[in-house]
Amino acid sequence: MKHKLRFAAVLLFLPLIFSPLLAQEGEEMQDGLLAEMQIEPPPQAVITVAEDMPNDGGHKLTVRWEFPKEFTSSVVRFEVYRAYSPDGEFVLRGESPNDFYEYLDIGDREEESPNYMPNDSSYYYKIVAVGTEGVSSESEVGGPYKTYGQWFHTGKVPLLIAVILFCIFTIYFVLSAKGGKELYIRPLAGIEAVDEAIGRATEMGKPILYVLGIGTAAEIATIASFTILGRVAKKVAEYQTSLIVPCYEPIVMSVAQDIVRSAYLEAGRPDQYDEDSVFFVTNAQFAYVAGVNGIMVRDLPATNFYLGYFAAESLLLAETGNAIGAIQIAGTDQVSQLPFFVVACDYTLIGEELYAASAYLGRDPLLLGSLKAEDWAKGILMVLMVLIILAVLLGWDAPREWIRVNL
C-alpha cells in the first residue's frame, strides 16, 4: 500500500519536473510550424486623401484610406505615420481601430510644442495595417497633403446673422430716435423711486451710498451703472446732499470720479464736488464688503444704491443696509444674486431692467432707440421659437440644427 502511494506521488510530480523542457520544445515546434505555414501579412491600406480640417488655423488633417473589408478580421489596428517629406522620418501619430479607415491628426499651433504642426505646410502619410499574427503591412506613402487656415468659421453662420441683424436693428432705431421719433418706454418701479429716495436723504440730512459692484469698468453692468450714477450724482448735486461711492476697482473708481465731477458741473455746483467722495477701498471681495458695511453702519446713509455686477457679497451689503433702515435700490444682471436683492431691497432692477434703467435715466434718445431694438430682437426670438417648436411638433427637426453654433 505504502509503495503504491509513493509511486502515485512520483507519477504526479513527473510532469512538473519535465514541464519547462516540454514548454521549450512546444515553442520550438510552433516556430517551426509558423515558418512552414509562412503567414501572409494583411493587405496594404491605400491612402485616398488627407483633407484639411475646416474652421481652424490649419493644424489638423483628416487622413482617409481604403482597405478590403473581407480582411478586417486579420487586422488588429491601423497605425498612422506622418513625415514632412516622402523619404523623411515617419513619426507615429496615432492609431485607428481595424474597422475604421479614418484618422484626425491634430497638431498644436504653438511653435514650442513638441506636437507643433505648422499651417500652410505639406505632409506625407503612411498607414501600417498591423495583422493579428504580429505581421504588418505598410501602405505606399501618400502625399503631399496641405493644411490651411480658414478665413471664416462656417459653423458660426447663425451667430454672424444674429450679429448683423442686431446691428441693423440698433442702428435703425437709433437713427429714427435721432430723427425725433417719440419712443414709449414703460415705467420702471426702481427708477421712479430714485428721485424720491434722494429727496428723502436730503430731508434726513444723511448721505447717499452708491455701490458700483465688483465688476471691471468694461463689464456691461458696470457701464450701465455709470450712466445711472451720472444721473444720481446730478440730482445729489442739485439737492446738495452728500454722496459716497466706495469702489472695488481702480479704473472703475477713476471713471466714477469723472462722472460725478461732470455731474456736479452740469448741475452748476462744481465747487461742491468733493474729490474724496469717490474712493478705492480694496479689490478683495470680502474686504471690500467689510469696508462698505463699516461705512454703512458709521455714516448711516439714508439711501443705498447697489447697481452693477455682484457676487456673494450682495446679501451681506443688502442686509446691512436693511438693518440701518436705508431705502435700497438694487440691480444686477447676475441671476444668482437677484433673489437676495429681491428679498432685502425695496426695489430691484432685474437683469435687463438694469440696462433699460440706464437708457431710461440717461434720457438720451439714442440710448432709448437701442432699447427698442432689443425689444424687436426679443419679438423675433419669440416668433422664431414658436416656429421651431411647431416644426418639431410636425416632425421636422432640421430648424433646431440650423441655430446651433459650432464653437
Partner 1 sequence: MTRRQLATYIFFGVVVILFAISVALKGFFVTFGAFLTLAIFSFLYDDNPYYKFAEHLFVGVSAAYWMCMGFWGTMVPNLFGRLYPPMVGPVIPALKDNPSDPFMLIPLILGIMLLMRLSSKAGWISRWALAFVVGTTAGLNLVRYLRSDFIQQISSTAMPLYVTNSAGFSLGETISNIVIFIGVMCGLIYFFFSKEHKGAFGAGARAGVIVLMITFGASFGYTVMARISLLVGRMQYLLDSWLGMIG
Partner 2 sequence: MKRRVPLMMVFVVSLFMVVQNFVPLDEWNWIYQFLLDWTMIIGILSLLLGMWSLWKVHTQKIKRKSENYGYSFITLSGLILMLIFGFFPGSGGIENYWYRSFFYYIMVPIQATMFSLLAFFIASAAFRAFRARSVMATLLLLAALVIMVRFVPMGPLSPIVSDAAGWILKVPNLAAKRAIIIGVGLGAVATALKVMLGIERSYLGRD
* 56 contact choice in partner 1, partner 2, none (CB below 5 to 8 Å, kind-dependent): partner 2
In the complex, minimum distance from the CB of residue 346 to partner 2, in angstroms, rounded to a whole number: 12
Contacts of 267 (CB under 8 A, 6+ apart): 234, 237, 238
- Note every long-range contact of 259-267, with CB atoms under 8 Å and residues 24 or more positions apart, other chains counting: 259/226, 259/229, 259/230, 259/233, 260/229, 260/233, 262/230, 263/229, 263/230, 263/231, 263/233, 263/234, 263/236, 263/237, 264/233, 264/234, 264/237, 266/234, 266/237, 267/234, 267/237, 267/238
Residues 148-177 that bind partner 1 (CB under 8 A): 158-159, 162-163, 166
With binding defined as CB under 8 A, does residue 106 bind partner 1? no
How many chain residues bind partner 2 (CB under 8 A)? 89
Stretch that binds partner 2, among 19-27, 83-91, 135-143, 213-221 (CB under 8 A): 213-221
Question: Which one, 126 or 234, has the nearer CB to partner 2?
Answer: 234
Strands 75-83 and 46-52: unpaired
* 276 contact choice in partner 2, partner 1, none (CB below 5 to 8 Å, kind-dependent): partner 2
249 vs 364: CA distance, rounded Å: 27
Residues 111-150 that bind partner 2 (CB under 8 A): 119, 149-150
314 vs 310: CA distance, rounded Å: 6
Among 130, 243, 317, 338, the residue binding partner 1 under the rule CB under 8 A is 338
With binding defined as CB under 8 A, does residue 398 bind partner 1? no
DSSP 8-state secondary structure symbol assigned to residue 58: S
Question: Which one, 89 or 401, has the nearer CB to partner 1?
Answer: 401
Question: Which one, 257 or 303, has the nearer CB to partner 2?
Answer: 257
Contact 38, 44 (CB under 8 A): no
Among 17, 92, 204, 389, the residue binding partner 1 under the rule CB under 8 A is 389
Per DSSP, the residues of 24-44 read HHHHHHHHHHHHHH-PPPPPP
Question: Which one, 226 or 305, has the nearer CB to partner 2?
Answer: 226
Instruction: State the cell numbers at 105.
Output: 491628426
With binding defined as CB under 8 A, does residue 186 bind partner 2? no
In the complex, minimum distance from the CB of residue 78 to partner 2, in angstroms, rounded to a whole number: 29
Bond preceding residue 118 cis, omega within 30 of 0: no
In the complex, minimum distance from the CB of residue 295 to partner 1, in angstroms, rounded to a whole number: 10
* 389 contact choice in partner 2, partner 1, none (CB below 5 to 8 Å, kind-dependent): partner 1
With binding defined as CB under 8 A, does residue 324 bind partner 2? no
With binding defined as CB under 8 A, does residue 391 bind partner 2? no
Return the number of other C-beta atoms located less than 10 Å from residue 153's C-beta. Answer: 15
In the complex, minimum distance from the CB of residue 180 to partner 2, in angstroms, rounded to a whole number: 16
Per DSSP, the residues of 327-371 read EEEEEES-TTTHHHHHHHSSEEEETHHHHHHHHHHHT-HHHHHHH
Strands 142-146 and 208-213: unpaired
With binding defined as CB under 8 A, does residue 392 bind partner 1? yes
With binding defined as CB under 8 A, does residue 51 bind partner 2? no
Contact 78, 66 (CB under 8 A): no
332 vs 311: CA distance, rounded Å: 10
In the complex, minimum distance from the CB of residue 278 to partner 1, in angstroms, rounded to a whole number: 13
With binding defined as CB under 8 A, does residue 240 bind partner 2? no
Give bridge partners of residue 106 from the DSSP assignment.
60
- Cα–Cα nearest to 44, from 133, 143, 139, 141: 139
- Print the binding letters for residues 251-290 with partner 2: x by CB under 8 A, - otherwise: x-xxx--xx-xxx-xx---------x--xxxxxxxxx-xx
| Residue ranges that bind partner 1, judged by CB under 8 A | 158-159, 162-163, 166, 183-186, 216-220, 223, 251, 254-255, 280-284, 286-287, 290-291, 293-294, 297-298, 335-336, 338-340, 342-343, 350-353, 356, 371-372, 374-375, 378, 381-382, 384-385, 388-389, 392-393, 399-400, 403-405, 407
